[in-house]
Amino acid sequence: MITHYLLSKEVLTYIIKESERMYPQETGGVLIGRFEKEYVLIDYATAPGPDAQHTTHEFKRDGIYCQEVLDRIVAESEGLVDYIGEWHSHPSKSRPSSKDVMAMRWIANNKKYAIQNPIMCICMQEHKEVWKTYFYLYNQFRLNELVEVPSSPNGN
């Protein structure tokens, strides 16, 4: 069972900068990486795409754009990484909404996504100019919060 996540500083920086840029509207994209035994490795976060829709309470990514980016990255990695989930921002500090849970349930049940336990990242402003990301694993109709891996998995 996945309980932890690991992501690069570049991915974290991108998600926070994009969330800040679009504030107070929501934004987001696709997460690309791979699952290991007890953690998920998040290698990439896509932009929302030019035709994405942003409001203060909702976000819809540009599916065609995100799919093209995903296909390119998967091909370049020779299948080492793939779609693992979604990320989006919340303009106000709040945990996953029922709409967030339903979206992950829809993805888990949609054969086109081919993933039973997608990851969701929510980026929100904790305090003035302090942004934080939260990662969740969808499992059995719930979003279970993941813990960041404290060091590289091989102990370095």
Q: What CATH number did the domain enclosing 103 receive?
A: 3.40.140.10
Task: Please name the residues in contact with 122: beta carbons below 8 A apart, sequence gap of 6 or more.
Answer: 87, 88, 89, 90, 95, 96, 100, 133, 134, 136
**What is the full per-residue pLDDT of the chain (156 aa) written as tens digits?**
899 999 999 999 999 999 999 999 999 999 999 999 889 999 999 999 999 999 999 999 999 999 999 999 999 999 999 999 999 999 888 889 999 999 999 999 999 999 999 999 999 998 888 899 999 999 988 999 999 987 655 544
Provide the whole-model pTM.
Answer: 0.93
Tell me, yes or no, whether 109 lies in a domain: yes
**Cα–Cα distance for residue pair 22/80, rounded to 1 Å:** 31
Q: Angle CA(115)–CA(86)–CA(152) in degrees, nearest 5?
A: 85
Number of independent structural domains in the chain: 1
What range defines the domain where residue 11 resides?
A: 4-148
Tell me, yes or no, whether 154 lies in a domain: no
Closest CA to 87 of 9, 22, 29: 29
Closest CA to 19 of 143, 132, 99, 135: 132
Tell me, yes or no, whether 156 lies in a domain: no
Tell me, yes or no, whether 138 lies in a domain: yes
